[in-house]
Amino acid sequence: MSLVRPLFCVLALLTVQAACAETTPPSATSGAAVASALPPVMDVEDLRMFVEVMDQIRNSYVEPVTDHTLWVNAVRGMLESLDPHSEYLGKEDYQELKDDTSGAFDGVGLELNMVNNDLKVLAALDDSPAQAAGIKAGDIIVKMEGKLIHGQNLQTILDQMRGSPGTHLHMTVARPGDSKLHDYDLVRARIAVSTVKGRWLVPGFASFRVSMFAQHTGHDLEVEVKKLQASGPFQGVVLDLRNNPGGVLGGAVEVADDFLDQGLIVSTKGRIKDSNQQFEATPGQLFPGVPVVVLINGGTASAAEIVSGALQDNHRALLLGTTSFGKGSVQSVLGLQGGRGIKLTTARYYTPSGRSIQAHGIVPDLIINQASVKEHKAVDLYSEADLAGHLANTQKSTEKSADEDDGNLLATDFQLYEALNVLRAQTLLNQATAVTRTQVSTQH
C-alpha cells in the first residue's frame, strides 16, 4: 500500500494540533471541536501534492534521503521563499542568533548577504579576524576551503563559517575592480567586543562608530561618551553608521533616543497586533545643543537605517555619504520546540515622517562619495614670513595648523573628513548666530 494515505492522515492531524496549540490549551478543547471552529489551515489538494512529492522523493531519488532531512528542507524552503530575511533556525543556528544579538559569537566576523547567488560582504566587524586580514565591504566570497560556493544556501555557508575559536577557515575572495583573487587563512575567534568606538578627530569634535546594533549598544555608546568627556566638551559629533548591517530594534531605538529629547523614533506595522508599535524619544540626550552628522553608505542597513531616518526626520542631524541599503522590514525570532526557531518577517518599519525605505534606502542630505584624495601644495607661493626683513610677531602662537589637526583624514577617509568640515561650519555658524542674538538683545 502506498505511504501517501497514512502520511496524509498524519499531516492532517498534525496541522490541526498545531493550530490548537496557538489558540487554546490542548486539554481545553478536543481536536474535532477545534477543527470545526477554525478555518482550514491548508487546502486539501495542496496537502496531497506535498505528500505525493515527498513520497516520490523517498522512493525514487538517486540516493536515500531521511524523512527528517525532507521535513527540515521543506520548512527551510517555505521560509526562504518568502523573502531574503526569513529563515529556519536549527539548534545551532538559533543559539548563534542569540549570541549575535548579545554581541558575542564564535566566527571570523563577517556580515554577509546573498546577491544574485553571490555571497557579498556587507561589513567586516571591528576587531574581528576578517577585518584584521583585510577583507572589505563589497568583497565577494568565491570559495571556502577550496570549494566554490556560488548558488549555495546562505545558511549553509554561514554554518561553515562558524566554528570553535582557534580553528582555521580558508577563503578566496574577489574584489570589484581587481582582477586578482585574494586568499585568506582566517583563525576563528570569540568575538565579544563593544559595538561602539569613540575617538577625538580633533579637539572638540568626536566620532562614534557603531559596528552593529546589539542589546547593549545604547550602553556601549554611553560608556564611550563618558570616556571622551573626561578630555573636554563636545563641539560636534559624527555618528558613523557606514557598513553597519543593523541588528536589534531595541538597540537602535536606544541610540536614537540618546540624540533626541522628544518625537517619534520609528513605527512598525504588520498583520498581528504585537507588530504595530510606535517608539517615542524620552527627555534627556547625550549631546544637547551639539551639531551632529551621521555618516551612511550602501552598507548601512536595517536598524542603522532606523537611527538614520529618525535623526533626519526629526532634524537632529545632517546625513552625509551615499544612499543606504534599503532594508525596511522587521524580523521576529520565534522559538520552536527542541531549541529551534524561525526568523520571520513580521512588520515593515516607517521613519517618523511615515517613509518606508524598503528597497529604496535613505538618501543623505549631502551626497559625498568616498574618494582617494591627494593634497596638492603649490611650491611657488610665499608668505610674509618669507620676506627679508619682515617684522617679527611678538605674540606666541598657540594655534595648530589645519594639517596638524586633521592628521591623515583627508588621505584615509574623505567622507569623515568632509563630515568634520560640515561640523566645523555648523559650529562657527552657531557661534556667529549666538553673538548676533546677544548684540540685538543688548541693543533692546
Sign of the Cα torsion 410, 211, 200, 312 reads positive
pLDDT on residue 162: 85
SS3 (DSSP) at 356 = coil
Q: Which of 245, 278, 271 is nearest to 345 (CA)?
A: 271
Query: Contact 142/173 with Cβ under 8 angstroms?
Result: yes
pLDDT classification of 28: cutoffs 50, 70, 90: very low
Query: Residue 114: pLDDT above 50?
Result: yes
pLDDT digits (tens, 9 = 90+) for 389-426: 888 888 876 555 545 456 578 888 999 999 999 999 99
Residue with cell 568575538: 191
Distance CA 438, CA 434 (A): 6
Q: Above pLDDT 90, what percent of the chain?
A: 63
| Residues pairing with 240 in the sheet | 209, 295
20 pLDDT more than 60: no
Looking at domain 104-192, its CATH architecture is: Roll (2.30)
CA separation for the pair 25, 3 (Å, rounded):
31
Task: Tell me the domain boundaries of the chain.
Answer: 4-65, 104-192, 196-367
379: confidence class by pLDDT, cuts 50, 70, 90:
low
The pLDDT value recorded for residue 26 is 33
Instruction: Give the whole-angstrom CA distance, residue 357 versus residue 130.
Output: 30
Q: Which positions are annotated as active-site residues?
A: 302, 313, 327
C-alpha–C-alpha distance, residues 93 and 80, integer Å? 15
Which CATH code fits 196-367? 3.90.226.10
Q: How far is CA 261 from the centre of its chain?
A: 24
Q: How many residues does the chain have?
A: 444
At a CB cut-off of 8 Å and minimum separation 6, what does 265 contact? 253, 256, 257, 279, 280, 281, 306, 310, 352
One-letter amino acid at 296 equals: I
d(CA 357, CA 327): 7
138: left (phi over 0), alpha (psi -120 to 50) or beta: left
Task: Give me the pLDDT at residue 102, please.
Answer: 77
DSSP 3: S
CA-CA distance, 137 to 175, in Å (whole number)? 9
Please report the DSSP string for 213-244 in residue order: B-TTHHHHHHHHHHHHHTT---SEEEEE-TT-
pLDDT band at 17 (very low <50, low <70, confident <90, very high): very low
